[in-house]
Amino acid sequence: MASSSNLLVHLRQCFSPPSLRSYFAEFISTFLFVFTAEVPTTRIAVLMTGFGAAIMEGVLTFLLVYTVHVAVDPRQGHGGNGKRGFAATALGALAVGLTAGACVLSAGSLTGASMNPARSFGPALVSGDFKNQAVYWAGPMIGAAVAALAHQVMAGCPAAPESRHGNVEAVVV
């Protein structure tokens, strides 16, 4: 009974007149921004070619995806049992965040450092400007695929699970 009354109190707060006014103001400001202002899209620098930008995006995506694979690999837990401690999880998240930040700082002015096709496709779809979209699709997809392959090769195949029954083979009659 107490949880339903807490829910009602929360709903009253969410749909109070001040809250509804702020929701409406946010809707109006978003509507005005999208339809009256120019939507910022990712663009490559004037001095870069499309091929160079695709290579740059591929390298950035490789760095980010490889860091994510290393940070969340369950084989790196305590004795390979798949469990990771708090420190390993927190340091993995920190490593991913620092890698993403370093990639943006190093190549943001050259290619926009998108590292994700959806990050470039969304603004292009809204603005209708699809210039150089191949750069932001081909580079990250190839970079991510190479990162996944490199991690599999460097981390090795997962060990085959040991049977609980030793070397006994099951015979079906």
- Tracing tokens 């369950």 back to the chain, one arrives at 74
- Tracing tokens 């029954």 back to the chain, one arrives at 165
* CA trace torsion 40, 42, 47, 51 (10° rounding): -160
Q: Against a cut of 0.75, is the pTM above it?
A: no
CA angle, residues 67, 73, 79, in degrees to nearest 5? 130
Higher pLDDT, 142 or 78: 142
- What's the confidence (pLDDT) of residue 146? 96
DSSP sequence for 104-131: HHHHHHHH----SHHHHHHHHHHHT--T
Whole-number mean pLDDT of the chain? 81
Residue 146, class by beta-carbon neighbours within 10 Å (0-12 exposed, 13-18 middle, 19+ buried)? Answer: middle
